[in-house]
Structure 1
Amino acid sequence: MPPLRIGFDARYAGDHFPGIGRYITALLPALSAICRPHRLLVLVNADQSLPPLTTETVEYAMVRSGPFALSQQLEMPLLARRLRLDLLHSPYIVKPYLLPCPSIVTIYDVLPLRYPQTLSPRGRRFYRLSLRLAAQSARKLITTSTVSRDDLAFHLRMPRQQIAVTPLAAAPAFAPQPVDAITDIRMRYALPRHYVLYVGSNKPHKNIDRLVRAWERVIPDLPAAFADTTLVVAGKFDRRYPLPAAIAAERGLSNRVKVLTNVAEADLPALYAGALLFVFPSSYEGFGLPPLEAMACGTPVVCAYAGSLPEVVDEAALTVDPHSMHEIAEGILRVLRSPDLRLLLRQRGLRRAALFSWQATAQATLAVYEQAVGD
C-alpha cells in the first residue's frame, strides 16, 4: 500500500467532552509514533493545545469552524481536498458528512438510546439523526468493546464486520504510586487514612444513589481495622441530576461521604492508589476506563456485572449486580474483610491492566485506516 495522508479531526479535544478529549490526547501520540510511512494530518482549532507528537510523521492544519458549526460541512470537504487526504478520522458522530475521501468515525456507546432520559426530546432527535448520518457517511466504524459493537450493529441494522473494536487503555501515568505521592494527595484533598473510591459522573446510569445507599449498609459492618473508612466520590457532576453531596446529606451520611469535584488529571493515579478499593456500580458502559485505571494503580476493584465492564475486568475484579444495593454492599465488605482477597485482586488487576496499551490501540486503529482505504 502506498503511503496515506490520514486526517485526524482533533477539534473535539476540550472540556465539553472530557472523555473524547482523553481518547484523542492518548491516541494521537501513539498513532504519530507508529504511522510511518503514512502522514498524519491533525486538524485543530486555533485555541487548542495537544500533547507532543512525533513531528516527523505529523502536520497540523488549522480549521476555522468549530466541531459543531454548520459551516464545517462546507469548510471540511474543501480542506480535505486541499490537504489531499486519503482518509479522515472523526472521533465523534457530529462530523463532516460529504467528504471527497473515505471517513472513519469512532462511536463509543449508545448511551442515549439505552438511557433516553439523559437528553431532552430535541437532544434525542439530534442524537439519532447524527448517529445515523455518521454511520451512513463512514466507510468503517470504530468502537471500544464488543458490547458496544453489538449494540451499534443492532440499532443501526448494520453488519458487525463493518464495526472494528479497538479497546482503550490506561495512560502510562496510571501505575502503583510511591507513599510520598499518596500522602501528598491525602493532605491536599483532606482525605482520610482509609477510603473507598468512586470516580465518574453523576448521570443516572452511574448509580451513585444506589452506591451511597449501599455505603449506608456497609458502615455498621465495617471491619474494626477500617471502621473509620469514608466513601470518596470524585468527578465532574451534572446539576441536572442529584448531586452526590445532596444524596449523602439526605441519608445523613455527610460525615462518611466526601465529594471531590474537578480532580486534576495528574492527581488521579495517587488518588486511585491510596484507596482501599475502587467501586464502580455503573449499569452501562461502552468501555469503562476508571476500573482499568484503578487496576493499573494496584487498587482492588468492585464493579458492576453490566455493559462492557466484565469484558474489561475479566476475572481481575469482584463483580456485582448494579441494581442490588445488597450485592454492592456485600461486595465492598467482602473485599475489606479479606486481606488475601485484596492482594489477589491487586495482583490480577495489575496483570489485566498490562494487557491494554495505547500502542496496541493505535496499531489496531491504523489497521482500520488501511483496510478502509483498501476496500
Structure 2
Amino acid sequence: MRVVINGRFLDKATTGVERYAREIVRAIDGLVAANDPQVRGMDFVVARPPSGAAAFTSAIAEVRAGPSRGVVWEQTTLPRIAGRAAILNLCNMAPLLGRAQVTCVHDAHPWLMPENFSAAFRRWYDVMIPLVLRRSARWTTVSEFSAQKLQDLNIARRPPDAITYNAADNFATIAPESLDGLPDAVRGPFVLCLGSQSANKNIGLIAGLADELRAHGIAVVVAGGGISSIFGARHGYGSGVIDLGRVSDGQLKALYAQALAFVFPSFFEGFGVPAVEAMQMACPAIVSNTSALPEVVGDAAILADPTDARQWLEAILRIRDEPGLREELVRKGHERAARYSWERSARTMVALLKDAAA
C-alpha cells in the first residue's frame, strides 16, 4: 500500500497547524524506522515542492517535484505524484483531484471568528474546506469541540472518522536553554503568555493587569510572533509588559519552568497546545473557559472567563498564595498531559489511511 504524505507544510512558517503536521509525520517516520507491525506493507513517501532544505524524515523517502509551489503545487503536482496512492493531508487543505485521502481539518476558527483573518484567507477557506472534506475518504480533527462546530456550521456534512489530538510529548526531547540575555523580569515572579500573533489570543486582557500585578511583585511576560498575512499586524502591549517576541523551543521550555503560571486567555482554540505544554513542564495553567480548552485541560487547570480580567487576577494570586494549590495543579497537569501522545495520534492516522485505501 503506497501512501503519499502532503509535505507542503515543510516549507512554510511553523504555526500550530504546521507543528502538528511535523510531529505526526515524525511519529510515523519513527514507526517506519522501527518496522512497527502497524506500518508493515505500507510504502510511505513525503511529497514536497522543490526546496534546498534538508530532508525532514530519515526512514521515509522524499520526492521533490515542481516547478510550481504553494496552492498550485498542492492542487496539480501533488495528485500527479500520488497517482492512485492514498494521500495524507495534515494542514486543512488537500488536492481536489486526490484519491483515497485522509485529511485533518483543525477547527472552525475562520468561521467562528472571521475578524481574526484576512478577507482573502476567509474566501479561500469558504470555498475549499467544504470541498476538501467531501473529497476525503476519511477526515479527522483535533478535538470533540472542533468536530461539533464544523458540523454545526455545515462545513462538514458528517462526523469525523476519528479525533487525532495534539500533544506536547515532543517537549521531552528539547533541552532547556539559558535565559541569559533576556530581560531581568524572567528571573523573578512572572506570568507567561503565548500567542501574541492574533487578537484572538486576547493577551491585551493580561496586559491590562500588568500595573496591578507589578504592585504584587509579578511581571507579565509575552512570547510569540505571528504571520501578518493571516492574522494582521502585530501590536505592542505597552511599557508594563515584557514582550520577548519569538523565542526558541529551548527558551520556551525554560520560561515554562520558571513562570509562576501560564495564562492563556484566548477567545477560541480548536485544541490549545500551549496549555498542554505548560502542564507537561510543571507550570500551573490558567485558561479560558471557552471553546476546546475545558475539554483539553479537564480539572488540571484553573478556568476563567476571557472577558473578565478580575477572574484572571484572582486566579494568578491564588496560585501564588493559596497553600497547596500550585502543587495540586502541577500534579494534575502532569497526569492530564500524559493523555496526549503524538504517536497515538499518528497510529490513528495510519489506521484511517488503511480504511481509506480499502
TM-score (normalizing by structure 1): 0.85
CA drift of 1:269 comes to 1.3
2:296 match: secondary structure: helix
CA contact (8 A) 2:116 2:200 kept: no
Residues 1:89 and 2:88 aligned together = yes
Alpha carbons of structure 1 residues 103 and 341: separation in structure 2 relative to 1, 3 Å = same
Q: How does 1:1-375 map to 2 (within 5 A)?
A: 4-34=1-31, 35-47=39-51, 48-53=53-58, 55=59, 58-64=60-66, 68-81=70-83, 84-85=84-85, 87-99=86-98, 101-156=99-154, 158-174=156-172, 181=176, 184-185=178-179, 187-190=180-183, 191-220=186-215, 222=216, 227=217, 229-237=218-226, 240-241=232-233, 243=235, 246-249=236-239, 253=240, 257-374=241-358
> What is the CA deviation profile of residues 175-233 of structure 1, one whole-angstrom value per residue up to 9, with x for unaligned ones?
898xxx57x22x2323332221112133121111112113444343x2xxxx2x21110
Q: Structure 1 residue 340: deviation in Å? A: 0.9
Greater Cα shift, 233-242 or 300-309: 233-242
Contact 2:275 2:287 in 1 (8 A): yes
CA distance in 2 between partners of 1:31 and 1:165 (Å): 17
Gapped regions of structure 1 (runs ≥ 5): none
Q: Which runs of 5+ in 2 are unaligned?
A: 32-38
Q: Distance in 2 between matches of 1:350 and 1:38?
A: 35
Deviation at 1:296, TM superposition (A): 0.6
User: Is 2:165–2:340's contact at 8 Å kept on the other side of the alignment?
Assistant: yes
Q: Distance in 2 between matches of 1:52 and 1:150?
A: 33
2:47, 2:78 within 8 Å by CA — same for their partners in 1?
no
Relative to structure 1, the CA distance from residue 120 to residue 11 in structure 2 (aligned partners, 3 Å threshold; closer, same or farther) is closer
User: Cα offset for 1:163?
Assistant: 4.1
CA contact (8 A) 2:192 2:259 kept: yes
Q: Quick one: which amino acid aligns to residue 314 of structure 1?
A: G
Instruction: Write the distance in 2 (CA, Å) between the matches of 1:336 and 1:128.
Output: 45
Q: Percent identity among equivalent residues?
A: 27
- Cα 1:269–1:71 change in 2 (3 A) is closer
Aligned residues: 345
The answer to whether the Cα contact below 8 Å between 2:280 and 2:337 also exists between their aligned partners in 1 is: yes
| Cα deviation, residue 174, structure 1 | 4.1
Query: CA-atom RMSD, angstroms?
Result: 2.2
Separation (CA, whole Å) in 2 of partners of 1:17 and 1:235 = 12
3-state secondary structure, aligned to 1:173: helix
Deviation at 1:279, TM superposition (A): 0.6
Report the equivalent of 2:36.
none
CA distance in 1, matches of 2:70, 2:94: 8
When residues 133 and 66 of structure 1 are mapped into structure 2, their CA distance, relative to the original with a 3 A threshold, is farther
Partner Cα distance (2:322, 2:55) in 1: 43
